[in-house]
Chain A
Amino acid sequence: MKNYQYVARSAAIAARALGDETMVMSATNSTLFTLDEVASVIWAAADGVTPLDEIVANKICAQYDISPEAALKDAQALVGNLAEHGILLISDQPLIHSSGSHKETR
């Protein structure tokens, strides 16, 4: 049985797209991050209901020249690190309420 991984933007952040990058600030400790173009695609797609492998397949592999395995490995490293900083939530169940109040703008 396949294990799905769902990702959602935390509500305790400030974020804005700046060109092809994204600025993200943690509201808990004011740490500022910037996400590059590819990371920004994953960030924007982290709606809590789309599995990570689907995001990678549809948003990354469809646009960038990278194998699904390598892209998923990188994406898992990314979301793991973002989760450690409290700006992204990860679950094996859909996170339907976590980022629903946020309207991302690009």
Chain B
Amino acid sequence: MSGLQAEMAAKALKLNIPLSVQLDLTYRCNELCIHCYLDHDDHGEMTTAEIKDLLDQMAEAGVFYLTISGGEILMRRDFFEILEHARARTFCVKLKTNGVLIRKKEAERLRALGVETVQISIYSHRPEVHDAITKMPGSFRQSIDAVRFLRTQGLTVTLANVLMVQNTHDYLGVKALAAELDAKFTVDPTITPMMDGDRSILKLNMDQAALQEVFRNEDLVGNVEEFCAPPQGVDEEALDMLPCSAGHTACYVSPYGDVYPCVQFPLPTGNVRRTRFVDIWRDSPQFKEVRSITLRDMPSCSKCAHGATCTRCPGLAYMEGNMRGPSSQDCEKSYARTGVPSENYKARHASPKPFQSLNLIQIQGLQPAERNFPAQMIEGIVARA
């Protein structure tokens, strides 16, 4: 996050404004990815009119960054109508898609509508591996064709490379492919539980050795020594730290209108079919509880050496049963990164219990979004840029 973005986020936090929202238009998909956490059946998606009304409400509430995701977003026949409405409300729009349904005509429309970024999931530079993960023959070729169509239009494209057992070592190949296509690249060794709580897909997670390899790859993490530095402990200032933006300046809305702190934090806070978005955001007891939690309120993490630098995901902690507790997956990650066990890690390994999520890992911000900011902007009555 740039300095200016951080400044805006701090201001949004102070003003209690939901600066960023991820809106999933559908859970339906034309791929059948082996690691997907969604139920793809349609259980009553919001209508076009409901989504447009929600977009109006979100604009009024101050939402600026809008990530439109799914499911596969182009499975909605009204996708472009929704996108056009969103852009008319001047959201900064990022799309997440597999790209299979994006051809020249769609790329031209996306360009005309001024989306900021299109993120396309690519699992491997090897077509047979990608297609085996999506369970859709020919999907690699179609997704790469989409990248080319989008780049021809001058759109910013990011290849998102989710890593798992099947493609553990393919990130360098995908990174090279991204360079060849003049696209950005992000890697995410994260396999999360199904939204219904089924944890069976966690067996697809990479093992510790593979994770350590990722953490020590300079091309991915930058300064390895700094990235893998031992934790410095927790001081008074750190105890007042907030866990992450979920529920503070960001939230997630499902295709059915349910509002959650984050796509990975399935704590129900309300439904926009019954309550206005801004009222859920401001008044939901669940949001208020999430906002009340600092590191000081976390019995285990506040005493852990990693407390101040851990990438603990409150959503994964919640899915383990306690939003004030540790996220064991992130404890595993901290250990793989630094070689120093967390308090939770030590406790678990002192009395090991069968627990499928021990290999679940998550990386956020390995490759922060690049933005160009002019060194100076406008003198006179413009404050800063």
Contact A30 B64 (CB under 8 A): no
Query: How many chain-A residues does the 8 Å CB contact rule pick out?
Result: 36
| Top-3 shortest CB links A-B | A36-B383, A14-B92, A27-B114
Nearest chain B residue, comparing its CB with the CB of A13: B90
Nearest chain B residue, comparing its CB with the CB of A29: B372
- Residues of B327-385 at the interface with A, using a CB-CB cut-off of 8 Å, are 371-374, 377-385
Q: Chain B at the A interface: mostly helix, strand, loop or mixed?
A: loop
Q: Shortest distance in angstroms between A23's beta carbon and chain B's nearest beta carbon?
A: 6
Contact B60 A105 (CB under 8 A): yes
Contact A32 B383 (CB under 8 A): no
Contact B378 A82 (CB under 8 A): yes
A101 to B379, CA, bound (A): 29
Q: Shortest distance in angstroms between B182's beta carbon and chain A's nearest beta carbon?
A: 15
Q: Shortest distance in angstroms between B198's beta carbon and chain A's nearest beta carbon?
A: 37
Nearest chain B residue, comparing its CB with the CB of A33: B385
Q: Shortest distance in angstroms between A31's beta carbon and chain B's nearest beta carbon?
A: 6
CB pairs A–B below 8 angstroms (18 shown): A14-B92, A14-B114, A18-B15, A21-B383, A25-B92, A27-B115, A30-B156, A32-B2, A33-B382, A34-B7, A34-B384, A35-B383, A39-B382, A42-B381, A81-B378, A103-B59, A103-B88, A105-B89
Query: How many chain-B residues does the 8 Å CB contact rule pick out?
Result: 39
Which one of A47-55, A72-80, A90-98 is at the interface? A72-80
Q: Shortest distance in angstroms between B7's beta carbon and chain A's nearest beta carbon?
A: 8
Contact A18 B17 (CB under 8 A): yes
B116 within 8 A of A: yes
B68 within 8 A of A: no
Return chain B residues, CB-CB under 8 Å to A32. Answer: 2, 4-5, 8, 371, 373, 385
Known: A31-B371, A36-B381, A36-B382. A14 touches B116 (CB 8 A): yes
A29 to B156, CA, bound (A): 9
Nearest chain A residue, comparing its CB with the CB of B64: A16
Q: Shortest distance in angstroms between B157's beta carbon and chain A's nearest beta carbon?
A: 13
Contact B114 A31 (CB under 8 A): no
A23 to B8, CA, bound (A): 8
